Amino acid sequence: MVHAFSLISMALWFYQLVVIGRVLAGWVGANPNGSLIKALHAATEPVFQLVRPLARKIPGPLDWTPAIVLLGLEILRRIL
């Protein structure tokens, strides 16, 4: 059973990297038509859509969606 928790923890860690990759791609202005950027978007957008209503309640010009997702993933990893 310990191995299952390790695999889940590694998967959550990998997904955190995917989220960070999407954020960095947005910061550097990567080509949105590139296959890697499309893959990052496809992998993260379903989770971002779930979190966006909460993130929009935070005032200011920043989109807090990725930060909230990363925080949630880290909390999940630490619980496991």
Q: In which domain, by residue range, is 23 found?
A: 2-79
Is residue 67 helix, strand or coil? helix
Dihedral angle, C-alpha 39, 6, 72, 32, nearest 10 °: -10
pLDDT range class, residue 69, cuts 50, 70, 90: very high
The number of folded domains in the chain is 1
**Model-wide pTM > 0.85:** yes
Residue in 18, 22, 44, 47 with CA at minimum distance from that of residue 32: 22
Asked if the model's pLDDT at residue 2 lies above 70, the reply is no
73 has pLDDT over 70: yes
